[in-house]
Amino acid sequence: MKEDAINNRDRLFEEREKLLSEKLDRLRKKSNQYSNVRMILFLSAIVCGSVFWYLKMPAAAISGSAVLVLLFIGMIIFHIKLKNEITLDETLFSIQGEYRARIEHRFDLLPDSGDDFRDRNHDYSDDLDLFGRNSLFHLISIAQTWFGRRTLAEIFNSAQKPVKLASEIILRQLAVKEFSENLPMLQKFQAAGRLSHRSTEDPRKLLEYAKHTEGEKPLISFGYCILSLGITAAFIGSAILYFYGNLISQYVPLSIMLLQLVLVAFRYQKFKPAFSSVEDLYTELSAYSELFKEIERADVSSEILMDTKRLLIDSEAAKPLSASARVKKLHRICLFVQARSQPILFFVLNVFFLYDNHCIYFLEKWKRESGSQLEAYMQALGAWEALMSLSALAIIYPECSFPTFVEASAASKSEQASFVSRTMGHPLIPIKKQVRNDFDLQHGIALITGSNMSGKTTLLRTVGINAVLAYAGTICCAEETCLGMMQIGSSMRIADDLGEGLSTFYAELLRIEKIIQKAKLGEPLLFLIDEIFRGTNSRDRTDGAIIVLKNLSNPCIIGLMSTHDYELCTLDQKSGVNLRYFHFSETYDEEGIHFDYRLTPGVSVSANARYLMRMIGIE
């Protein structure tokens, strides 16, 4: 089953790569032929005109050359269209290569690490490698826009919420499944955004302007346009009368020019916020329009995706107009606004034509007609891109499945504290290097022991990241997973902070205190604590760990804690702590130390610190 799913995916990838490669070869050959025909037509036009002119047949020279030039121009138009098709297919081929890089975990070939979303103080994201180089975001993000990237990050981080609805997650699963089965649609959408320039600039300034209801009244704005046209006509007329008939004084056009300067200066500050909101994003709006168009014509069936299409098409509006058409209209207006950003053009256009009055009229008109919908469009686009990104994981791991959830209506909070997974692996480890384990924790706290480098920390991260994936609405890296609706808290990647004056031990205390505060909410919780209190002495470490375990011993809490402190493994039932023991082990021979990374019930009895020291020459 596992091998069949992977083989089918690889076969589909090979077929698609072959199809794109063969199509590119055909188009490039056709492009070379077009180039040759263009050259022949161009030379023929010159030869034809020269020969007939030499033969004193000017009519034939002109008409023959004209026909050949028209054919030449037509060939240029066809060639431009062909080159655009080649560019699209080259982009698709490049994107296909990125999907291959995702499967092979070649992070150096993937464009977006999401490093700007890293937060060392977040409850779990930094511990679980959700953002940054070689992260989950780096592996799967195909978002082209600011909202798409942000929405994906918010979905990852939302697992910390105490209340999550399985019904909403299942709807996302259906959309993710549909996307994962339509690779050409995913790649075409990416290509549309990439060819129109990536729209990763923050559009919030534009959205604030679009939502701002206060603006110049339509009649006033229209009146200024009419006034501007009148003043411009008066200036042109007076200039003509002065220069060509000397019928009026030169001071008349100069006075009108002075009046125009006064009007420009009078309204400049009022216009400035509106223009600054749009002039930096005019290139991005073209990309948004193309992406909206791709969504509007997408053939989809899942509920979330259908709702998104309906929102963008908006056929029930008083003036039916799609999101792509509305944004395209704004883009055209912004092209005219952009012209005024050049100082010389600003002066010429405003002094002679009062250009700003016309620009602001059309901007305000667009805002009244479409501004209130823009943010909803952008959010819908972001959600669409986030779901596309989540589907990438199902392409990377076709043998894995979507998780199921403990029924909230029938389960108590203690039953929600449950995590069961079969053949579970870490999605950021290439599949050839993965060692998958079964893990079942439906009550209590799992104490994980084992030697250094045996796999304890990786297990904690594997459980945590698969829980995040489950709540995000995509597959888990496992054959089967069932879990309840839990908060997630972790204390794993702890470092001192000289800037804040925090020692490693105190930084860890703060992280664990956050977990305990979550526990006090009385909601189901999954916690992950790696090598608790490693920054203090053994006696305090043991006593502190016992206190933490007692604080986290609650029927609606489960968690994993890794430790080298074997005294914790001697706690009896009278302590009030429900512990379950798991461990990793290793073997030794003349070639060295060998880890199998297999999770086994019970407590570890091995230690390898001295062996590892001898390996690097410390006796």
- Integer Cα distance of 531 and 537 in angstroms: 13
pLDDT in tens, 123-182: 899 999 999 999 999 999 999 889 999 999 999 998 878 788 888 999 999 999 999 999
d(CA 400, CA 418): 20
- Summarize the chain as % helix, strand, coil (round to 5): 60, 10, 30
pLDDT of residue 97: 93
Alpha-carbon gap, residue 12 to 228, rounded angstroms: 62
Q: Convert the pLDDT of each residue in 204-229 to its tens digit.
A: 777 877 776 665 666 666 666 676 67
Is 404-615 a domain of CATH 3.40.50.300?
Answer: yes
- Name the band, by pLDDT with cuts 50, 70 and 90, for residue 561: very high
**pLDDT computed for residue 409 by the predictor:** 63
Count of alpha carbons within 13 angstroms of residue 442, beta-carbon side:
10
- The predicted-structure confidence for 165-175, as pLDDT tens digits, reads as follows 888 999 999 99
- Ramachandran quadrant class, 385 (left: phi over 0; alpha: psi -120 to 50; beta: rest): alpha
By C-alpha distance, which of 379, 13, 389, 322 is closest to 175? 389
In whole angstroms, what is the distance from residue 307 CA to residue 301 CA?
10
How many residues are given for the chain?
A: 619
- Are residues 570 and 545 in contact, defined by beta-carbon separation less than 8 angstroms? no
d(CA 58, CA 62): 6
Q: Look up residue 319 and give its DSSP letter.
A: S
Contact predicate 229/200, CB 8 Å = no
pLDDT at site 192: 86
The pTM assigned to this predicted structure is 0.85
Q: What is the pLDDT of residues 292-343, one digit of tens each?
A: 999 999 999 999 999 999 999 875 555 568 899 998 888 888 887 777 777 7
Q: What is the mean pLDDT of residues 532-549?
A: 79
224: CB partners within 8 A, 6+ apart: 267, 354, 357, 360, 361
In whole angstroms, give the CA distance from residue 265 to residue 267: 6
Alpha helices (runs of H) in 217-354, residue ranges in sequence order: 218-245, 251-278, 282-296, 303-313, 323-339, 343-353
CA 31 to chain centre: 35
Contact status, residue 161 vs residue 487, Cβ threshold 8 Å? yes
Comparing 17-31, 152-166, 233-247, the range with the smallest average pLDDT is: 233-247
Domain segments of the chain as ranges: 204-396, 404-615
pLDDT at residue 498 above 50? Answer: no
Query: Please, are residues 111 and 200 in contact by the beta-carbon 8 Å criterion?
Result: no
